[in-house]
Structure 1
């Protein structure tokens, strides 16, 4: 083949370093940034990418995959025998029905809309079920197709401007519920479609609570895609819209402002901006302290009880091992009334212990997370990364514990 010819990707498959460089570039990270996030130097990243260093061992591959948000490990390694889904689950049994309902495009008014009060009561029960059920995806996946159909019908049947705005707020809330369900499912494009529909319905409703929730979820989608500037733009614009309303706002709107403030801090932490991240966390803490005792937002989980969990995540995203553990010890998971949110907090605690070089504590904490909400752990890429890494540990006892946990999570059959 001529040296000027385009390389054949099948005859000359990309090696690990080339794949890492392409994925890093796609995420908009410099070599120094990637190196810092995996506790290496920019020159080390360059050496791997140019082939001067050989492919790193599995624990480092998993750390790189986490930073680059690689959904399937074979994307990074090129080894089709390593088709391990990290940040995408195997696909929930209810996912096909939910996707079908979301992809439907009903234009006629043949389907009768339920009364708004009835629809609101069903949505409220759905959020309650999500927080209380250990198999929350199964419960929500059963409810969503009917809720999507009826909420869309409510908008079509609205006879006045006020009724239509109210129906749009309900539809937005159904889309928010759907976005929770669709996260980590094997269709990333669907998550974005749902997020955009939720934002459009919220804007049409002109309801500050709905607008804030749409921004909260959209910010997370941007950050998980490493679109940090876009995440900041949505968060800060929406906070600017909400702040003048807060003195006269109800608890739910003030809680959404608090949740958005946390998101601003988490985005700063993901970028390594320590002072900014903790400043936003302090702002969120003050907002939480202004809420009634025992208050818990049904969508964002924002509350005084969850602020400690957010502190753990800030420290972990800043890759501060000692501070992560200090926050993990301080934050009490049992105070969080939501099963999936409690399990997510346990996962963040496990990340803290793992970052601090305490793998046995990390595995034990993941086991507690599984007890709280198995489906939360099953679809979480950070949990999978820890389990996979410890399955390669030198300690036979730790390998056995990690393998047993992998079996409980369904990773051996996914």
Structure 2
């Protein structure tokens, strides 16, 4: 029987005791009443258990009476308890404040340029959290005020399109910074704005944004179903329309990851094949602020391999993806993180650390809030060597792990 190493992480302990209890991940998730994807993230360290109630339920399921043995933490101390980022309260307040009508004419061109600048900052800045977050409350206030002040039908439709892009940005920001309540409300408002814009491409883009939040929350089946529904909604559009093709492609990329998490490999491979054909047809695109093309297909192919527990295949794919020309900081960072995870799974810790540091050079702010990065860094710390120590320890201290 495997002994409990005092240095084992809570994630490793959950896996150990679940296996000792003779349960599969599927059985444990069913007993917990959560998705299999959520349980896997607890075991991988990608997501922390931050509720005492959840710990008690997990202990009951894996048949452990002593919470200290399960968590490795003193009673009352929970891992990675996230404090809300300082930018979130003003954003939330602006979202829920009563909108005020404007006295002066609405300048939709100016509003559009402001949104373009905010999106450009979010996608392209290495300090994207620090620079984007403070812009969002005023953008929310201005957009909501504009919508209730527009009288012309075509202006209102254009305003709804701008609103869809605003709420999509709030969704992206909230999801990445860990404010899933803000992200979900924003995704819902993006869907409403897309419906009011009466455009199936806007509806499909909004559905993609909502599905990413569902996926991040562990609602894998719901995310997959939403992707399929959005693809069906696009069937009435010209098959040769590049906007439609790109949206079908990016929806299938997200669907592929969900199918892999559901352990439906044939469906995941089929979704990747559809996305691959779409990428060949349209090349690199940015419709509706969503990056899609051959580069993103390569990144997701590697991600699917990781979800299917195939680190060697994930590395083989990822090592041939060139993200150097991608304008998206998030895509470049995600690629380096996939490589780091693959190398760590093979215990090639020096290579894993190198990839973490490459990602950190892209966006140091991301390293401080990304739970997967923190979990991976802890893993490397437990196996540190004189070769990795000089760079690993300062990195760990800077992101709040050591």
**Structure 2 residue runs without a partner (length 5+):** 1-12, 19-24, 45-57
Residue 297 of structure 2 corresponds to residue 307 of structure 1:
yes
- Report what 2:248 is aligned to: 257
Q: Distance in 1 between matches of 2:37 and 2:113?
A: 49
Match for residue 397 of structure 2 among 401, 404, 407: 407
SS, match of residue 33 in structure 2:
helix
- Report what 1:101 is aligned to: 94
**What does 1:160-239 align with in structure 2 at a 5 Å threshold?**
160-185=152-177, 187-239=179-231
**What does 1:132-171 align with in structure 2 at a 5 Å threshold?**
132-171=124-163
Contact between 2:102 and 2:149, CA under 8 Å: does it hold in 1? no
- Report what 1:286 is aligned to: 277
Q: TM-score, normalised by structure 2?
A: 0.81
- Report what 2:79 is aligned to: 83
Larger displacement relative to structure 2 (204-213 or 265-274):
204-213
Q: Distance in 1 between matches of 2:225 and 2:29?
A: 26
SS, match of residue 156 in structure 1:
helix
Alignment CA distance shift 1:184-1:94 (3 Å): same
Match for residue 36 of structure 2 among 29, 33, 36: 29
Contact between 1:343 and 1:377, CA under 8 Å: does it hold in 2? no
Alignment CA distance shift 1:364-1:261 (3 Å): same
Contact between 1:220 and 1:263, CA under 8 Å: does it hold in 2? yes
Contact between 2:205 and 2:288, CA under 8 Å: does it hold in 1? no
Alignment CA distance shift 1:193-1:111 (3 Å): farther
Q: Per-residue deviation at 1:113?
A: 5.9
Q: Distance in 2 between matches of 1:206 and 1:162?
A: 11
Match for residue 92 of structure 1 among 70, 85, 88: 85
Match for residue 126 of structure 1 among 118, 121, 124: 118
Residue 359 of structure 2 corresponds to residue 372 of structure 1:
no
Alignment CA distance shift 1:302-1:30 (3 Å): closer
**What does 1:271-350 align with in structure 2 at a 5 Å threshold?**
271-292=262-283, 294-297=284-287, 299-350=289-340
Residue 63 of structure 2 corresponds to residue 50 of structure 1:
yes
Q: Distance in 2 between matches of 1:30 and 1:93?
A: 29
Q: Per-residue deviation at 1:268?
A: 0.4
Contact between 1:130 and 1:140, CA under 8 Å: does it hold in 2? yes
Larger displacement relative to structure 2 (109-118 or 381-390):
109-118
**What does 1:382-397 align with in structure 2 at a 5 Å threshold?**
382-393=372-383, 395-397=385-387
Alignment deviations for residues 322-345 of structure 1 (CA, whole Å, 9 cap, x no partner): 101111211122132222221122
Contact between 1:265 and 1:314, CA under 8 Å: does it hold in 2? yes
Q: Distance in 2 between matches of 1:341 and 1:129?
A: 14
Contact between 2:67 and 2:75, CA under 8 Å: does it hold in 1? no
SS, match of residue 332 in structure 1:
coil
Alignment deviations for residues 205-243 of structure 1 (CA, whole Å, 9 cap, x no partner): 112232112111111111222222211221111100113
- Report what 1:6 is aligned to: none
Contact between 2:59 and 2:67, CA under 8 Å: does it hold in 1? no
Larger displacement relative to structure 2 (205-214 or 111-120):
111-120
Q: Per-residue deviation at 1:396?
A: 4.8
SS, match of residue 272 in structure 1:
coil
* C-alpha RMSD of matched pairs (Å): 3.3
Considering Cα pairs closer than 8 Å and 6+ residues apart, tell me whether 1 or 2 has the greater RCO.
Answer: 1
How many aligned residue pairs are there?
367
Q: Distance in 2 between matches of 1:95 and 1:315?
A: 34
**Structure 1 residue runs without a partner (length 5+):** 1-14, 39-44, 62-73
Q: TM-score, normalised by structure 1?
A: 0.79
Larger displacement relative to structure 2 (324-333 or 391-400):
391-400
